[in-house]
């Protein structure tokens, strides 16, 4: 017997799920940074709609249709509503996946667009053929029989979820995206929850497993994202100072050698004074994007320290390697054609300090040494100017 044959569960599970997700929707503004709010809010709202749509679908299937074929028209309507809601939910998850990936491969985007178009086309056909056996019908005994359109729509929905899972796994093993592994983990786990629960629901006589997958996915997404936001700078979306100190502590506990780099934007005050704080924020975001390019490989991670200061941790014991990495930041800023039309010139000064476990330095000492070296570079630049 499936869970759905129990009317109490059929009512209690959706109610609990809706209440939980509604609370999350209420807390979004307090927890998430602005760039994340629209995606999380849309996903939670559509998750609530998906739970209610599945509950309606189940109720009509189990408690109305068996009473007579005259109720079959309600099944047509419930099916269409369910398909539309699940398609919107899946599509919104795909959009959030693209957002988390940041710069996905073109083939991934194209494949997603094709699947979304196929979903929409199949739903339009289902609406046109809603009163035919191609969608759903029943036999003389009142048993429902699902048509080919039901299977086609389910395949397209599952394919888009599977595509997000594949994109997440590919991103996980991409060395250039090593710094984004926390976001990639969100894609993989959430997509697995949706995919497994949807497949099981389709195979196990349409039990309420899909609802449970959506609820668990929403809970996971909210709390993992909450944890991520604790360590994320709102403006640049780089990891923040709290995360920096945490990573440094972890490396020091593991007795790993590394270089700490302090970075400061040159003439940032004049940018703010001459062009306004909005342009100053834009300049900080450009620096952050540049650091992401530099931190593409696993041994480099970038952080916003505060104000116009940034930081990097480089897992290397080669000073030449560290110096080349730092120089590469200014190379990108000076040579990138996207920045050629800026009304100001962007560059950074930097200083670094090596952490050697045997020396027993503390985090404040490491940061102070790097900060002093960075200040020396700024002074040299002023003298040269």
List pLDDT tens digits, range 115-129. Answer: 889 888 888 888 887
Higher pLDDT, 200 or 166: 166
- Domain-by-domain residue ranges, the chain? 3-230, 241-384
Picking from 308, 237, 303, 236, the residue whose alpha carbon sits closest to that of residue 273 is: 308
Higher pLDDT, 257 or 59: 257
Higher pLDDT, 348 or 227: 348
pLDDT of residue 106: 82
pLDDT for residue 154 is more than 90 = no
The verdict on pTM exceeding 0.75 is no
Mean pLDDT of 75-99: 86
Mean pLDDT of 191-214: 79
List pLDDT tens digits, range 21-46. Answer: 888 777 766 555 556 667 777 888 88
Mean pLDDT of 275-286: 91
pLDDT tier at 7 (50, 70, 90 boundaries)?
A: low
Mark out the alpha helices in 137-265 (DSSP H runs).
148-172, 181-203, 209-230, 241-253
Mean pLDDT of 215-242: 82
DSSP 8-state code for residue 180: G
Cα separation of 176 and 185, whole Å? Answer: 16
Helices (H) and strands (E) in the chain, counts: 12, 6
pLDDT of residue 161: 92
Cα separation of 297 and 214, whole Å? Answer: 34
Return the CATH number of 241-384, one of 3.40.50.620, 3.30.70.270, 3.30.460.10, 3.40.50.1000: 3.30.70.270
pLDDT for residue 1 is more than 50 = no
Mean pLDDT of 137-141: 66
3-230 and 241-384: identical CATH topology: no
pLDDT for residue 266 is more than 70 = yes
Q: Domain 3-230 falls in which CATH fold? A: Rhopdopsin 7-helix transmembrane proteins (1.20.1070)
Q: To which residue do tokens 């307090």 refer?
A: 30
Q: Quick check: helix, strand or coil at residue 325?
A: helix
Mean pLDDT of 259-281: 92
């Amino acid at each position: 017997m499936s869970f759905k044959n129990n009317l109490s569960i059929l009512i209690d599970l959706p109610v609990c799920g809706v209440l939980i997700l509604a609370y999350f929707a209420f807390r979004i503004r307090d927890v998430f940074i602005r760039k994340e709010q629209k995606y999380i809010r849309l996903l939670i709202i559509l998750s609530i709609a998906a739970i209610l749509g599945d509950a309606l679908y189940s109720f009509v299937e189990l408690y109305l249709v068996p009473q007579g074929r005259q109720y079959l028209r309600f099944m047509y309507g419930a099916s269409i509503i369910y398909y539309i809601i699940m398609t919107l939910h899946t599509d919104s998850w795909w959009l959030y996946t693209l957002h988390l990936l940041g710069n996905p491969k073109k083939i991934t985007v194209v494949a997603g667009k094709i699947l979304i178009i196929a979903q929409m086309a199949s739903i339009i056909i289902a609406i046109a053929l809603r009163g035919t056996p191609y969608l759903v019908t029943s036999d003389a005994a009142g048993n429902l029989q699902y048509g080919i359109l039901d299977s086609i729509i389910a395949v397209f929905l599952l394919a888009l979820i599977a595509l997000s899972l594949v994109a997440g796994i590919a991103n996980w093993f991409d060395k250039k995206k090593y710094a984004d592994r926390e976001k990639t983990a969100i894609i993989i786990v959430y997509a697995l929850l949706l995919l497994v629960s949807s497949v099981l629901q389709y195979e196990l006589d349409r039990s309420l497993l899909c609802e449970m997958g959506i609820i668990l996915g929403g809970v996971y997404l909210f709390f993992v994202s909450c944890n991520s936001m604790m360590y994320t700078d709102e403006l640049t979306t780089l990891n923040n100072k709290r995360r920096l100190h945490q990573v440094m502590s972890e490396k020091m506990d593991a007795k790993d050698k590394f270089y700490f780099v302090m970075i400061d934007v040159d003439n940032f005050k004049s940018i703010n004074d001459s062009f306004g704080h909005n342009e100053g924020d834009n300049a900080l975001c450009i620096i952050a994007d540049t650091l992401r390019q530099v931190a593409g490989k696993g041994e480099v991670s970038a952080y916003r320290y505060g104000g116009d200061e940034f930081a990097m941790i480089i897992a290397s014991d080669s000073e030449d390697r560290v110096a080349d990495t730092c120089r590469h930041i200014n190379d990108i800023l000076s040579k990138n054609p996207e920045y050629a039309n800026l009304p100001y010139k962007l560059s950074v000064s930097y200083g670094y300090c090596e952490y050697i476990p045997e020396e027993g330095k503390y985090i404040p000492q490491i940061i102070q040494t790097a900060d002093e070296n960075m200040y020396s570079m700024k002074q040299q630049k002023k003298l040269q100017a």
